[in-house]
Structure 1
Amino acid sequence: MKKKRQDTILSLIAAEEIPTQEVLRERMEEHGFAVTQATLSRDIRELKLTKERRGSGRACYTAPVRQEVNGGILQNAALRTDFAGNVAVIHCRTGTAQAVAAALDAMHREDVVGTIAGDDTIFVLLRTEIQAKEFAGSFAKLMETGGF
């Protein structure tokens, strides 16, 4: 039940702007989860949700990207990132793009529809332009620090 509840939270914040716990609680209720404020607070803490300003200017919940790959492939192979529309582009060292794309696919992010990798470039299709911009920014941070 907890996993399903937390997966629903992640799906909701990936699909829409959720600015407060109360809005999140209401949306969870609409999805069949009657959660208390204490349970919701615990889920937010466990999921390590933060608030980021969105295109509307409102601070809304967002989930960190999980780095679940060994050897730092994302940090060592990726060179730069950008976005256009709802597509993020990752430029990689020659011959590493497919490994980076496989690592991204293994993360099972709700906002990522899919990836296409060539030899040194990856296209990451996201659900919205805002998500593409946020993904490119988060990925750039990963390349600098090695983690989110």
Structure 2
Amino acid sequence: MNATSAAVAGALTFLWVGMVSAISFLEAPLKFRAPGVTIPIGLGIGRKVFRALNHIEIVLASAIAVTAAVGDPHVSIVVLICVMAVLLTIQLGVVRRRLNRRSDRVLAGEELPRSRGHMYYVAFEIAKVAVLVVLGVNLAAA
């Protein structure tokens, strides 16, 4: 893989890791501990923040794939990019969609029991970050 493509794709990969780590593992849980933040307010903020993050993730995934492809990547890098894309697609297409439907109901005033949906989302975040770190390390070594 050529050095420029590897460096750009690696930088984008670690930018993505930082964004997901800051938002998913810091901002999201902490916002519900802030004084005066109710569940509906937290959900409203969370939906906006995660909608923005998810759009940026799609752009980053596309940019990483294109940048790596231009650089004639090793098969391991291609596989990691594909795994990352599949994880992101399932997370946004299935898990987030279900969470949005549930949060619509909560924001409409319905009282619902606790859900495991957020745990699935967090599991995908952890898996995605792990794959991105491995991808970034592979790109740095390329």
Answer with 1 or 2: which has the greater Rg: 2
Higher fraction of helix: 2
TM-score, structure 2 as length reference? 0.31
Relative to its length, the structure with more strand (as a share) is 1
TM-score normalised per structure 1:
0.30
